């Protein structure tokens, strides 16, 4: 391995690379330590979602060369797939080097004879998805590492429908990228006439589209002074969310000034991830001072949103992604029904690790809810496949990503913020808080509670440990979880659903994915899934119970939390 690493590193000291890169690699070679190995022991994999990794020199790092090679492979595939003129849209987030990587991406496309619509400054990922279809592009790229730590960046590739790459394009693009042997195979010399800067004209069209998806304008008008605190966590949400809320009619929106400025170092947070309570600390403090009704915070590329609402004690309480997703689907379906828009041809969608409560809410109005693999691209693929046959109402995933309608084909935190604010106004107009609406939902459909444990295992040894954990679970599945027998094993890698009592098997009906799911006699579901974008393995827990008395909400919640803790103990995760 040492010889392979050294051989690969020495190639990066040639004249094919710029002087700064050459000197940086020479320094790593002279140290001959762990960083050299991590930077060169493998090529950064262009996966089904694109690239994501730590920024730096080397084949296993995000830099202008790995970005350039990925772009060349994508450009070659686009040219093989379409006749005539081809165009792409390109956007980037607030991360360090994101503008540089976006510019290099545009230059490689332009040098390859593909017109590049390049956003003149940072924009949310969902706006990039919108722009692809709005501009009639055949594909697109956004430079972002979503909510990852500051040392990361990434490259998401999109197809002409505005969704991220799915089969067969994902594997075909990977194949083309693998054919690029090095920077010498990349066309770097751009025809500047093939690069067109875009901005405000797309913003206006995007916002108009978002406003068209709103369902309760009368509630917004009545509650226009709803007190809202929003934070972009130094990311792209600040470009669109406050403006869109204002255009919709909300007049009392405050932002967290310390976090308004785009900054790839994310100086006020440990992690710019709205899934983590610490990320919204400043917003919560500001909201308490102002007596705000609602707190919302988006991640750096504004495709995820975390929220806090007032609980029964009047305290601000953070909601997890399953709670917010359930609220949104409940609101969307209820308003569609009240407006007479349901005609039996609508559907919702969620991922296999997202609460079953969304399915129960949907099916109560005879709206089918489809399960897809983890990754919003599969919801986008479903929308595309059902286009002209069934209409997408909304849906999402437990990791704080949601969508309504088909204006965008990726999770959209800008739209989600608009709908959450509108939903809050609608609830208030009906004499309730969102927290009370959530209790209504649990009273009617069952009290579902979910949790997530994410275990980080970095580097080569970490990847091996994660693989070993998954193999152990496959070979020796748990027999009982919190005193309830495990009845069913769903192995999405083999595509088999096994009845552990009889041994009978059926098909999952979904594409292969390295995911294991266990279901017990009392309806508990536990899922193990290695992350496709981070060095992590994630364990998802879903338990449920009846809520017979609204006054027992906190008691039942505590019982369910204790049950999750017992399951985690059974699995050796605590």
CATH number of 276's domain: 3.40.120.10
Between 479 and 460, where is the model more confident? Answer: 479
Residues 269 and 330 in one domain: yes
**Looking at the domain assignment, is residue 57 inside a domain?**
yes
Closest C-alpha among 53, 33, 57, 55 to residue 44: 53
Q: Which residues contact 27 (CB under 8 A, 6 or more apart)?
A: none
Which pLDDT belongs to residue 422? 98
Residue 563 belongs to a domain with what CATH number? 3.30.310
pLDDT at 459: 78
Residue 3 has pLDDT above 90, yes or no: no
Let me know if 271 is a catalytic residue.
no
pLDDT in tens, 509-539: 999 999 999 999 999 999 999 987 678 899 9
The alpha carbon of 497 is separated from its chain's Cα centroid by a whole number of angstroms, namely: 27
Mean residue pLDDT across the chain: 96
Closest of 326, 325, 256 to residue 287, by C-alpha? 256
Last residue of a domain, one of 445, 465, 500: 445
Question: Is 207 inside a domain boundary?
Answer: no
What pLDDT is stored for residue 99 in this prediction?
Answer: 98
How far is residue 331's CA from residue 437's CA, in Å, rounded to a whole number? 9
Tens digit of pLDDT for each residue in 71-81?
A: 999 999 999 99
The Cα–Cα gap between 399 and 299 comes to: 11
Asked whether residue 204 is domain-assigned, the answer is no
Please determine, for residue 183, whether its predicted confidence score (pLDDT) is greater than 80. Answer: yes
Residue 203 lies in a domain: no
With residues binned 3-state (H G I as helix, E B as strand, rest as coil), the percentages for the chain, rounded to 5, are 40, 20, 35
Q: In which domain, by residue range, is 377 found?
A: 212-445
What pLDDT shows up at residue 102? 98
| DSSP per-residue string spanning 256-324 | -GGGTS--TT-TT-S---TTSGGGGHHHHHHHHHHT-SEEEEE-TTSS-EEEEEE-TTS-EEEE-HHHH
Same domain, 179 and 327: no
Verify that 456 and 431 share a domain, yes or no: no
Is the Cβ–Cβ distance between 504 and 521 less than 8 Å? no
The confidence score (pLDDT) of residue 559 equals 97
Kindly state whether residue 205 falls inside one of the protein's structural domains. Answer: no
228 pLDDT higher than 70 = yes
Instruction: Give the separation between CA 402 and CA 147, rounded to whole angstroms.
Output: 15
As beta bridge partners, residue 114 has: none
Distance CA 120, CA 106 (A): 12
The three-state secondary structure class of 459 is helix
Residues 339 and 477 in one domain: no
Both 438 and 458 in one domain: the answer is no
Same domain, 441 and 459: no
Among 198, 232, 265, identify where a domain stops.
Answer: 198
In contact, 393 and 335? CB cutoff 8 Å: no
Q: How far is CA 264 from the centre of its chain?
A: 19
Query: Is residue 437, in this structure, part of any structural domain at all?
Result: yes
Domain-ending residue, one of 426, 445, 464: 445
- Please indicate, yes or no, whether residues 292 and 437 belong to a single structural domain of this protein: yes
User: What's the mean pLDDT in 458-470?
Assistant: 87
Query: Minimum mean pLDDT among 43-47, 121-125, 365-369, 394-398: which range?
Result: 43-47
Q: What is the pLDDT averaged over residues 471-487?
A: 95
Residue 327 has pLDDT above 90, yes or no: yes
pLDDT of residue 463: 86
How high is the pLDDT of residue 533? Answer: 65
| Total of domains in the chain | 4
Is the model's pLDDT at 461 over the cut of 90? no
Task: Please tell me the predicted confidence (pLDDT) of residue 409.
Answer: 98
> Which one from 39, 98, 146, 232 is the annotated catalytic residue?
146
> 253 and 182 in one domain?
no
Q: For the residues of 22-90, what is the DSSP string, one character each? A: HHHHHHHHHHTSHHHHHHHSSPPP-BTTEEEEEBSSSTTSBSHHHHHHHHHHHHHHHHHH--S--EEEE
DSSP class of residue 407? Answer: S
Q: Are 228 and 284 members of one domain?
A: yes
The predicted model gives 383-400 an average pLDDT of: 97
pLDDT tens column, 102-112: 999 999 999 99
Instruction: Tell me, yes or no, whether 457 and 355 share the same domain.
Output: no
- pLDDT score for 1: 62
Tell me the pLDDT tens digit for each residue of 529-574: 998 767 889 999 999 999 999 999 999 999 999 999 999 999 999 8
CA 50 to each of CA 174, 177, 247: distance values in angstroms, whole numbers, following the listed order: 8, 10, 34
| Residue 141 is assigned to a structural domain of this protein | yes
**Are residues 460 and 364 part of one domain?**
no
Determine the pLDDT at residue 458.
81
What does DSSP say about strands 346-351 and 369-372: parallel, antiparallel, or unpaired? Answer: parallel
Average pLDDT on 236-256 reads 98
Q: Residue 496 corresponds to which tokens in the numbers above?
A: 């088999």
- pLDDT bucket at 351, cuts 50 / 70 / 90: very high
- Contact between 365 and 342 under an 8 Å Cβ cutoff? The reply is yes
Residue 441 and residue 320 share a domain: yes
Q: Cα-Cα-Cα-Cα dihedral of 55, 61, 64, 67, to 10°? A: -110
Higher-confidence residue: 291 or 535?
A: 291
In a domain, 365, yes or no: yes
Whole-angstrom Cα distance, residue 159 to residue 88?
9
Residues 333, 362 contacting (CB under 8 angstroms): yes
């Amino acid at each position: 391995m040492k010889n392979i690493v050294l051989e690969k590193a020495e190639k990066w000291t040639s004249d094919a690379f710029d002087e700064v890169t050459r000197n940086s690699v020479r320094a790593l070679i002279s140290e001959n330590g762990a960083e050299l190995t991590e930077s060169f022991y493998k090529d950064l994999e262009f996966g089904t979602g694109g690239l994501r990794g730590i920024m730096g020199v080397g084949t296993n790092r995000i830099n202008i060369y790995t970005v350039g090679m990925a772009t060349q492979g994508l450009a070659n595939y686009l040219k093989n797939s379409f006749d005539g003129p081809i165009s792409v849209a390109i956007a980037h987030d607030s991360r360090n080097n994101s503008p540089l990587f976006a510019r290099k991406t545009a230059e490689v496309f332009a040098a390859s004879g593909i017109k590049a619509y390049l956003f003149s400054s940072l924009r949310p990922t969902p706006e990039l998805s919108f722009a692809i279809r709005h501009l009639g592009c055949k594909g697109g790229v956004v430079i972002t590492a979503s909510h990852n730590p500051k040392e990361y960046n990434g490259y998401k590739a999109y197809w002409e429908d505005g969704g991220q790459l799915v089969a067969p394009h994902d594997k075909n693009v990977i194949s083309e990228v693998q054919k690029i042997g090095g920077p010498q195979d990349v066309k770097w010399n751009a025809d500047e006439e093939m690069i067109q800067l875009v901005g405000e004209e797309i913003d206006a069209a995007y916002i108009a589209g978002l406003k068209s998806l709103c369902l309760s304008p009368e509630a917004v008008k009545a509650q226009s002074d709803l007190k809202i605190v929003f934070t972009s966590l130094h990311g792209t949400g600040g470009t669109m969310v406050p403006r869109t809320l204002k255009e919709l009619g909300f007049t009392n929106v405050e932002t967290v000034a310390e976090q308004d400025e785009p900054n790839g170092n994310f100086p006020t947070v440990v992690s710019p991830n709205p899934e983590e309570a610490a990320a919204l600390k400043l917003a919560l403090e500001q909201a308490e001072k102002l007596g705000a009704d609602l707190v919302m915070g988006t991640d750096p590329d504004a495709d995820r949103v975390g929220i806090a609402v007032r609980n029964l004690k009047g305290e601000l309480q953070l909601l997890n992604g399953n709670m917010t997703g359930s609220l949104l689907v409940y609101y969307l379906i209820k308003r569609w029904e009240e407006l007479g828009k349901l005609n039996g041809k609508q559907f919702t969608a969620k991922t296999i690790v997202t609460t079953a409560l969304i399915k129960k809410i949907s099916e109560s109005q005879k709206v089918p809810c489809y399960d897809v693999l983890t990754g919003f691209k599969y919801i986008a693929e479903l929308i595309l496949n059902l286009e002209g046959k069934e209409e997408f109402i909304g849906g999402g995933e437990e990791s704080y990503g949601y969508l309504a309608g088909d204006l965008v084909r990726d999770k959209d935190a800008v739209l989600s913020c608009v709908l959450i604010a509108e939903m809050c106004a609608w609830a208030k107009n009906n004499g309730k808080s969102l927290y009370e609406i959530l209790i209504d939902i649990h009273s009617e459909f069952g009290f579902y509670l979910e949790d997530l444990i994410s275990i980080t295992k970095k580097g080569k040894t970490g990847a091996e440990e994660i693989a070993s954990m998954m193999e152990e679970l496959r070979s020796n599945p748990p027999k009982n979880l919190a005193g309830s027998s495990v009845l069913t094993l769903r192995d999405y890698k083999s595509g088999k659903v096994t009845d552990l009592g009889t041994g009978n098997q059926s098909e999952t009906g979904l594409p292969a994915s390295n995911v294991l799911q266990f279901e017990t006699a009392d309806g508990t579901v536990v899922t193990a899934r290695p992350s496709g974008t981070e060095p992590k393995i994630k364990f998802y827990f879903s338990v449920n119970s009846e809520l017979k008395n609204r006054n027992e909400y906190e008691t039942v919640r505590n019982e369910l939390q204790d049950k999750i803790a017992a399951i985690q103990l059974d699995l050796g995760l605590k």
